[in-house]
Amino acid sequence: MIWSSVADQAHAVRTKAISAVELTRAYLERIAAKDGELGAYLAVDEAGAIAAATRVDECVARGEDPGPLAGVPVGLKDVFVTEGLATTAGSRILEGWIPPYDGTAVAQLRAAGAVVLGKLNCDEFAMGSSNENSAYKLCRNPWDLTRTPGGSSGGSAAAVAAGLCSFSLGTDTGGSIRQPAAMCGVVGIKPTYGRVSRWGVVAYASSLDQVGPLTRSVADAALVLEAICGHDPRDATSVVEPAPLLASAPTAGVDGLTIGIPVEYGGDIDPEIAAAVQRAAAILREAGANVVEISLPHTRYALPAYYVIAPAEASSNLARYDGIRYGIRRGEGGLAEVYRATRGAGFGAEVKRRIMLGTYALRAGYYDAYYKKAQQVRALIKRDFEQAYATCDAILSPTTPTPAFALGANATPYEMYLADVFTLACNLAGLPGASVPAARASSGLPIGVQILGRPLDEATVLRVAGAIERAAGVMDLHPPFAS
């Protein structure tokens, strides 16, 4: 049942075709056998998972319904706060922290019957595009172990692709769900900003962060999304609209929809990626959609605006890790020395770089030139999308400029930042966006395409993704590592 859909696994558990404990053990055995080489998990909670699965089985035995995700084993990016289970955000500064509570999304998954297997590797504080900024270990791409799984939710994508969990949760601030999903050949969706509660998620850049699932199919993504969406009074930016009904969206078809392809997204991309977008466009046309060219004229400013706003917010969010209020404590003597030693030892190089960049951009006298300017650019980017959505229902583009690159290949921070050039604008505008596998490169590596929707219109994103998934026929393939 390892490769069965989320719906089939839950159905099997609810009808006693398999017990939740058996299903959970099957994944735990695979993790024990394979994850040493892959590096997707930072912590595996065997006892907690078996206990949770046992409760699901007891619920079924009593004739009660454990929920739509009954007994389905999930892995969580290590930025999700989990009661009794170490949460590090991939950073040394949180090493050894055992949270006393579950964040909202995790609590919702548990309430729906899901079984938490453990915590997944990620870039430190979700800053990165290759998982190489994890303070703990490398995570590899199951399609080619010399390559990156993408980032920052690299462990979340690798684990799903390798069959080391049924589905996972990630977070996406500038592309961290969609980019690793594309590189590992799985589906990833970042909902509209505010759709899923950020309460109990370690913050990176609060005006951009959003939670979403990584799954092996569009139908799985719809099912998981239904379980985690909804208003949460504990997150001040949570939208008040009720959780959307999404189960029928993946198979609803695209007949009559208008799909826009931004002319600005051509440029410097791998020809096989460009071909995958063309192929996806042809699939949608064939299925009855109208495919048109659109323009997002401020696209080229998305990357510089993001790399002012995200570090600025990060510098503020990460101020709390000072050795007194939060985090490990280092240094003897005075307060300044404790701060210096704690933050010096606890943060990695990229996190320090962003804190310095962000602090600089927020300094008196620089604020207008950098932060305020970036916010103005953000408003223009948002307006580009509003104008585009006057003429189309969804937007199709590449997810990444290249398939998964080699570990160590992006030597400078700027090269790494370019890995998210197609995904950042979506976060700046707060829109829903997904990546769905659409083709394979001649190297055998998976290629994903990105679908963006109107605010709160995850349903249309899933409709388009479902149509591409059905016709592209690449979803039944598993990486050789997984067999």
Are the C-beta atoms of 171 and 180 separated by less than 8 Å?
Answer: no
What is the Cβ-side half-sphere exposure of residue 206, based on CA atoms within 13 angstroms?
14
Choosing from 134, 156, 166, 176, the catalytic residue is: 176
- Cα separation, 51 vs 48, in Å, equals 5
127 touches ligand GLN by CB under 6 A? yes
Judged by CB under 6 A, the stretch of 37-45, 87-95, 154-162, 168-176 that binds ligand GLN is: 168-176
Largest CA distance in the chain: 70
Q: Give whichever of 71 and 212 is closer to ligand GLN, judged by the CB atom.
A: 212
Q: Give whichever of 73 and 174 is closer to ligand GLN, judged by the CB atom.
A: 174
Are the C-beta atoms of 184 and 149 separated by less than 8 Å?
Answer: yes
Judged by CB under 6 A, the stretch of 27-35, 113-121, 174-182, 283-291 that binds ligand GLN is: 174-182
Active site residue 152: yes
> Residues 6 or more apart from 67 whose CB is under 8 A from it?
10, 111, 112, 113, 114, 227
Judged by CB under 6 A, the stretch of 34-42, 123-131, 294-302, 394-402 that binds ligand GLN is: 123-131
Q: Give whichever of 82 and 152 is closer to ligand GLN, judged by the CB atom.
A: 152
212-251: contacts with ligand GLN (CB under 6 A): none
Antiparallel, parallel or unpaired: β 73-77 and 115-120: parallel
Near ligand GLN by CB under 6 A: residue from 176, 238, 399, 400: 176
Are the C-beta atoms of 351 and 125 separated by less than 8 Å?
Answer: yes
175 touches ligand GLN by CB under 6 A? yes
Near ligand GLN by CB under 6 A: residue from 39, 67, 128, 200: 128
Choosing from 152, 166, 168, 197, the catalytic residue is: 152
User: Helices 458-472 & 271-286, crossing angle to 10 degrees?
Assistant: 100
- C-alpha closest to that of 202 among 226, 169, 178, 157: 169
Going residue by residue from 80 to 119, which x/- string records binding to ligand GLN, judged by CB under 6 A? ----------------------------------------
Active site residue 217: no
Q: How far is CA 334 from CA 320, 324, 337, 338, 377, in A?
A: 18, 12, 5, 6, 42
- Cα separation, 79 vs 131, in Å, equals 13
- Can you say how many angstroms the Cα of residue 418 is from the centroid of all Cα atoms in its chain? 18
State the nearest-atom distance from the C-beta of 300 to ligand GLN, in Å.
17
State the nearest-atom distance from the C-beta of 233 to ligand GLN, in Å.
25
185 touches ligand GLN by CB under 6 A? no
295-314: contacts with ligand GLN (CB under 6 A): 310
202 touches ligand GLN by CB under 6 A? no
Active site residue 77: yes
Judged by CB under 6 A, the stretch of 47-55, 172-180, 337-345, 401-409 that binds ligand GLN is: 172-180
- Cα separation, 274 vs 258, in Å, equals 20
200 touches ligand GLN by CB under 6 A? no
Q: In what order do the strands lie in the sheet with 41-44?
A: 41-44, 115-120, 73-77, 167-172, 210-215, 187-190, 433-440, 446-453, 394-398, 258-262, 290-294
Near ligand GLN by CB under 6 A: residue from 141, 173, 215, 410: 173
> Residues 6 or more apart from 172 whose CB is under 8 A from it?
153, 178, 188, 190, 209, 210, 211, 212, 423, 427
132 touches ligand GLN by CB under 6 A? no
State the nearest-atom distance from the C-beta of 425 to ligand GLN, in Å.
12
Are the C-beta atoms of 414 and 451 separated by less than 8 Å?
Answer: no
State the nearest-atom distance from the C-beta of 243 to ligand GLN, in Å.
23
351-410: contacts with ligand GLN (CB under 6 A): none
- Cα separation, 205 vs 202, in Å, equals 10
Amino acid type, 392: C
204 touches ligand GLN by CB under 6 A? yes
Choosing from 77, 153, 156, 168, the catalytic residue is: 77
Q: Give whichever of 172 and 384 is closer to ligand GLN, judged by the CB atom.
A: 172
Which residues are known to be catalytic?
A: 77, 152, 176
- Residue numbers at the binding site for ligand GLN (CB under 6 A): 126-129, 152, 172-176, 204, 310, 420
